[in-house]
Structure 1
Amino acid sequence: MKVIKRLTILMLIALLAISMTACGGTTSNMSGSKFTTVYYYHPISPGAPKNPYNATGNSFTSFDKMQLAWSANSATDLNKFYPGLAEKWSANSDGTTATVEIQPKAKWSNGKPVTANDVKTSMAIAFTQGTAQSFSLGSVKVLSQKKVELSQLPGAKYNMFLHDLLQQTVVPDFQYGKLLPKNIWALIDQSLYSGKDKAKAAQAKKAQEQITKLGKSITTFAPKTDISAGPFVLKRLNPGEAYLVKNKYFYASEKVKVGSVSLRNYTGNQQIWNYLTSGQLDAAPFTAMPQNVLDNIVKTKGNQKVVSPTYVAASLAFDQKFYPYGNVNVRKALAYVIDRKAVQKVAEPVVGKPSKYTDGIVDSVAGKWIDASTRSKMDTYDLNLKKATAMLQKEGFKKTNGKWVMPNGKPWTMDIYVVNGFSDWIQGGKVISSQLTNFGIDAKPTIVSSFAQYQADLAAQKYAVGFWLDSLGASMYTSFGRIYGMPDGYNVVGGKLTYSDQKDKTKGNWVGIPQNLKLSAGEKVNPGKLTYQLNQMKVDEQRPNVQKLALATNEYVPLIEIWDYIHVQFVNNNRFTNFPVKDEGLMNNMPGVWMSMGYVTPKSSK
């Protein structure tokens, strides 16, 4: 189940940037209307192409890299957006077809108009990157120079279709169209076949291989110049910063009061803390920090803390293929051993709250979905070492000389995998390891070199226990898909749900929970199917599935939710004013979006 699409992944990386450590940078002249912040989606990489499809490409979301629209991050209306390159949009009654009208004045930074052909080419490229398939895009029809119609695959009914397509990157056809073969849409049509005709299935596989190969070549494309449809265009960069200047052809240029932007490079929180405490940043993203650092930051003249909702939790997850974690009572016992409040207090004291329940949803959203009757059936898994001991003993575990021995006669040891630079995960891993060791399980945090490597190793079933982000996003589909989607072997191919068990290590199933679970009330459920159904239901129809999924998560504990994140960011009013601090949805976007809507005004120099 491709729940984590490219754009959602970008959101994830932005959230993960809260948990990284330090590096060096550069200083810049802070005078005039140059706005200084940090770019947290990827490092600034001199020599990397100015290409938004390259993992380290020098393309910067909201500044020069543009989307059709920007999410308002609403927990109740997933299709609430702020305009981007799209002036307006609409969908048919069942949400399977969307019509998008491009901003009439939208132009690229060389003066050429942004057209429907640019959108069509961008969507073709999205197929080569594997993102268009994830929201069941089937066809793109140009209606006029500034109007385009996008439809789902016949038979598909993905309820986040509009939500996902509006967040796709748009690139110029005159620059990227030449990278695509003339028959690209015929290839796409062939690749989407999912029927039983063997000849067509073989043709589809061949087309998919061609498209995948094409996607790799597109990521290496290195344009000579940055062609931007955003409020800024890249002027120069070095290892410490990217410098962008105002794009005079931007469709809302008159609203942009900032003359230039300096995006400071960084690899972790320590550097952002230093920037903030010295008053060098005009805005800073969601950033993990201890209380003493926060106190120093807010003491700095001009700094203002801004708090807004976020929809993500940190959890300790299990690969049930590994002994003894396939035993649900073992996982429950561990939940009783871990003191979540103590872990959060050390690991994420400023931007975290202890999770009240392990249910697959952050607490701030759960109240909208889980009624009192359902909640009364759930265990809070509060710290209870006696209960944990009794459960393990009942399962055949024995304690000898203060150490737990598993039923197979081997001592119980545990590596808790975390990612290098993710300081909150590392600190959380240390505290949990200490708690488990004190309980009699020899545990230690084990650090993986990078998040990319971590995800690959998880998918390859290399870790028994490790940190994971769940409850990702306001959508219940994406929230539960973090457990019962791709990580549990479920995927959507050709608009149909498929499942792969853990015997095939190439399909990414590292959770390994049984397909069918029996709830305490006696009902049998398939969490993967229930999650998939959410993407076809309207929001007001989803509650029964959500309640069952929350109960299944609480009763079978595929992971232990440790803390919910709180979105804390900063602005500085010394050089600029008029930040959108009262608009939570807008603040959760990057500063280029604020500026394109008329916010952020330089203070007059004296």
Structure 2
Amino acid sequence: MKLFKRLSILSLIALLGITMTACGDSGANNSNAKFTTVYYYHPISPGAPKNPYNTTGNSFTSFDKMQLAWSSGLATDLNKFYPGLAKSWSESPDGMKATIELQPKAKWSNGKSVTADDVKTSMAIAFTQGTAQSFSLGSVKVLSDKKIELSQVTGGTYKSFMHDALQQTVVPSFQYGKLLPENIWSVIDQSLYAGKDKAKAAQAKKAQDQLTKLGKSITKFAPKTDISAGPFVLKRLNPGEAYLVKNKYFYAAEKVKVNSVSLRNYTGNQQIWNYLIAGQLDATPFTSMPKNILTNALNKKTNQKITTPTYVAASLAFNQKFDPYGNVNVRKALAYVIDREAVQKVAEPVVGKPAKYTDGITDSAAADWIDSSVRSKMDGYNHNLDKAASILEKEGFKKKNGKWLLPNGKPWNMNIYVVNGFSDWIQGGKVISSQLTDFGIDAKPTIVSSFAQYQADMAAQKYAVGFWLNSLSPNMYTAYARIYGTPDGYNILNGKLAYYDQKDKTKGNWIGLPEKLKLSTDETVNPGKLTFQLNQLKPEQQKDIVQKLALATNEYVPMIEIWDYTHVQFVNTTRFDNFPVKDEGLMNNMPGVWMAMGYVTPKASK
């Protein structure tokens, strides 16, 4: 579902690495110390525009790119937020409206006030990017200069409406408003029509196409200067780093003790390891690493390891249009072939745990959602080569000279696609390939140049087998939408569920499960519809649906869960102290959020 445009995992948990640049004095520094970290949402590219809507744009979340509020990412409190440009917020009893009051002192870096009109323009742009539709936004009403009301589309039932609305990017209307036509809200209203009147439906389609066209032009917009409402503003950048300085107009500038920030570029995990071991990063985001790297990093006494909860799993996923992966028993056989514990020990020994079950969510999340009676119906797919061979033989596969042949007599070859720089995926792909080859299936890992290219190729149905990140969140809707959302053809359009099968290669359906699945309980379910229902229910009402989706995932194996991640990051106390290490929710956010709340203090020079 289009929700995923904003889900770049932690954002996408493995988009990490940096490019070597000078780092300055490694000893204690004074209040002029430059805070150095890695920006992991996207590479730094001097040629890209200073535009938060451009996927590679030079705009940096929590530093100069701002939201209304910042989510804690805690399973124990999904509605815990830290203030951003919003000072306060409230939701109507029926969840259909969200009223947001902006920070009274919020200003842009040119001194102009941040207003409700900026939020309204930003929400209009969100429609052109497809994100507003994903949380069923219908209309926006300016109540005062610093107060605004957001309403769900008529008939909307999305229970995470305010939760998602608070995480939208806010840009200045005086800079971006000129990119929108004067009648933009009329176009948006027309695009939201979901009735049966043919004339209005045609008008809606025309309006939707206009929004899409506008969205493309907005992503190309290249402002001459960075205008920030965050704690920092972009000063300069080069291929190795983005350099930002303190924004004197930031609404909480007196709390920000850091005067400048260096965001290092990345190309792979190994670079981040080198800087971490050398003690040259003041904060290190999540990164995959082997045990020897962890040991070397902790040998630097000022490096402090921080572990916080995460709900992300690495899986081997299948496109079922490719033979033989459309056969559920083949996918089950492969699950028995793969020794998950052996893969995890090599690929993710420090921040990974072998997945106990393939059920669509991490084991830590499953403990709260899946009853023992339901769990007893699930297969653990424990390593069992004899069982795998028996299944394949029943499906018409034959083994000749130690190699498995497809039922049509052709050799069985498998490319396992992984991403350059994702060291854990690459190592995992190698171990799985070795296990499959030993079993008699010729397999090899194939590396794709970038995650952006990987996602595009997955959506275009170019890969039969590849790694995928599933779960991603303690929010059960978000977790299962990683499988039964856009990847399986289900999209939310104007608050309604739309399904596209694999015949349409433009809609992102690369999994290709049947719409209806019969469970071992004899119940027939539509996993896309069940997932959609999750976003219309409060968490306490979701358990029955979650358990059905867990059963469907376990029985139909659209992907084999290999390991669960643990969120491990580091801070270095050589140059700064007062990190929010005891607040898991705050540590789950990027450093700009910490600094805006008064954390991170430069040490006095020695």
TM-score bracket, normalised by the shorter chain, equals over 0.9
Do 1:26 and 1:264's aligned partners in 2 also have CA atoms closer than 8 Å? no
Do 2:3 and 2:131's aligned partners in 1 also have CA atoms closer than 8 Å? no
TM-score (norm 2): 0.97
Amino acid at match of 2:23: T
- Distance between the aligned counterparts of 2:603 and 2:20, measured in 1? 29
Alpha-carbon shift at residue 226 of structure 1 (Å): 1.5
1:174 alignment partner in structure 2: 174
1:301 alignment partner in structure 2: 301
User: Aligned ranges for residues 56-135 of structure 1 at < 5 Å?
Assistant: 56-135=56-135
Do 2:2 and 2:486's aligned partners in 1 also have CA atoms closer than 8 Å? yes
Alpha-carbon shift at residue 377 of structure 1 (Å): 1.0
- Distance between the aligned counterparts of 2:11 and 2:263, measured in 1? 20
Alpha-carbon shift at residue 23 of structure 1 (Å): 4.1
User: Aligned ranges for residues 273-292 of structure 1 at < 5 Å?
Assistant: 273-292=273-292
Q: State which drifts further: 381-390 or 505-514.
A: 505-514
2:529 alignment partner in structure 1: 529
SS of 1:16 mapped into structure 2: coil
Alpha-carbon shift at residue 28 of structure 1 (Å): 3.6
Structure 1 residue 24 and structure 2 residue 20: aligned? yes
1:499 alignment partner in structure 2: 499
Post-superposition CA distance 1:283-303 (Å, at most 9, x none) = 010011111111111111310
Structure 1 residue 480 and structure 2 residue 480: aligned? yes
2:562 alignment partner in structure 1: 562
- Distance between the aligned counterparts of 1:198 and 1:426, measured in 2? 51
Alpha-carbon shift at residue 504 of structure 1 (Å): 2.0
CA RMSD between the two structures: 1.3
- Distance between the aligned counterparts of 1:81 and 1:332, measured in 2? 41
Do 2:9 and 2:472's aligned partners in 1 also have CA atoms closer than 8 Å? no
Post-superposition CA distance 1:543-599 (Å, at most 9, x none) = 000000001111111110000111110000111111001111100100010011111
Alpha-carbon shift at residue 505 of structure 1 (Å): 2.0
Do 2:314 and 2:470's aligned partners in 1 also have CA atoms closer than 8 Å? yes
2:159 alignment partner in structure 1: 159
SS of 1:570 mapped into structure 2: strand
2:310 alignment partner in structure 1: 310
Alpha-carbon shift at residue 353 of structure 1 (Å): 0.8
Post-superposition CA distance 1:72-131 (Å, at most 9, x none) = 111133221111000110111121210000011111112211111110011111111111
Structure 1: tracts of 5 or more residues without a match: none
1:541 alignment partner in structure 2: 541
Do 1:26 and 1:240's aligned partners in 2 also have CA atoms closer than 8 Å? no
Structure 1 residue 12 and structure 2 residue 11: aligned? yes
Structure 1 residue 238 and structure 2 residue 238: aligned? yes
SS of 1:341 mapped into structure 2: helix
User: Aligned ranges for residues 245-284 of structure 1 at < 5 Å?
Assistant: 245-284=245-284
SS of 2:11 mapped into structure 1: helix
Distance 1:318 1:224, change over 3 A: same
Alpha-carbon shift at residue 172 of structure 1 (Å): 0.9
Which portions of structure 1, spanning 4 or more consecutive aligned residues, are displaced by more than 6 angstroms? none
- Distance between the aligned counterparts of 1:276 and 1:410, measured in 2? 48
Distance 1:10 1:358, change over 3 A: closer
- Distance between the aligned counterparts of 2:237 and 2:318, measured in 1? 42
Distance 1:113 1:29, change over 3 A: farther
Amino acid at match of 1:561: E
2:406 alignment partner in structure 1: 406
- Distance between the aligned counterparts of 1:484 and 1:126, measured in 2? 23
SS of 2:437 mapped into structure 1: helix
Amino acid at match of 1:409: G
SS of 1:214 mapped into structure 2: helix
Do 1:23 and 1:270's aligned partners in 2 also have CA atoms closer than 8 Å? no
Alpha-carbon shift at residue 29 of structure 1 (Å): 4.9
- Distance between the aligned counterparts of 1:501 and 1:223, measured in 2? 39
Amino acid at match of 1:129: Q
Structure 1 residue 378 and structure 2 residue 374: aligned? no
Structure 1 residue 357 and structure 2 residue 357: aligned? yes
Alpha-carbon shift at residue 465 of structure 1 (Å): 1.0
- Distance between the aligned counterparts of 1:447 and 1:38, measured in 2? 23
Do 1:517 and 1:552's aligned partners in 2 also have CA atoms closer than 8 Å? yes
Post-superposition CA distance 1:368-409 (Å, at most 9, x none) = 100111111111111111111111111121111111112111
Structure 2: tracts of 5 or more residues without a match: none
SS of 1:182 mapped into structure 2: coil
Amino acid at match of 1:220: K
SS of 2:89 mapped into structure 1: strand
User: Aligned ranges for residues 386-397 of structure 1 at < 5 Å?
Assistant: 386-397=386-397
Do 1:416 and 1:433's aligned partners in 2 also have CA atoms closer than 8 Å? yes
2:601 alignment partner in structure 1: 601
Alpha-carbon shift at residue 266 of structure 1 (Å): 1.8
SS of 2:561 mapped into structure 1: strand
Post-superposition CA distance 1:12-69 (Å, at most 9, x none) = 33x1225x6x643333456433211111111121132221112222111111111000
- Distance between the aligned counterparts of 1:12 and 1:599, measured in 2? 22
Q: State which drifts further: 314-323 or 198-207.
A: 198-207
Do 2:436 and 2:442's aligned partners in 1 also have CA atoms closer than 8 Å? yes
Q: State which drifts further: 538-547 or 105-114.
A: 105-114
Q: State which drifts further: 62-71 or 30-39.
A: 30-39
SS of 1:358 mapped into structure 2: coil
Do 1:3 and 1:477's aligned partners in 2 also have CA atoms closer than 8 Å? no
- Distance between the aligned counterparts of 1:319 and 1:399, measured in 2? 24
- Distance between the aligned counterparts of 1:515 and 1:384, measured in 2? 30
Q: State which drifts further: 540-549 or 452-461.
A: 452-461
Do 2:74 and 2:309's aligned partners in 1 also have CA atoms closer than 8 Å? no
SS of 2:280 mapped into structure 1: coil
- Distance between the aligned counterparts of 1:164 and 1:51, measured in 2? 21
- Distance between the aligned counterparts of 1:420 and 1:261, measured in 2? 27
- Distance between the aligned counterparts of 1:3 and 1:512, measured in 2? 19
- The alignment of Structure 1 onto Structure 2 pairs a total of residues equal to 602
Alpha-carbon shift at residue 522 of structure 1 (Å): 1.2
- Distance between the aligned counterparts of 1:221 and 1:496, measured in 2? 31
- Distance between the aligned counterparts of 1:455 and 1:193, measured in 2? 30
Do 2:39 and 2:264's aligned partners in 1 also have CA atoms closer than 8 Å? yes
SS of 1:9 mapped into structure 2: coil
- Distance between the aligned counterparts of 2:276 and 2:463, measured in 1? 37
- Distance between the aligned counterparts of 2:516 and 2:9, measured in 1? 32
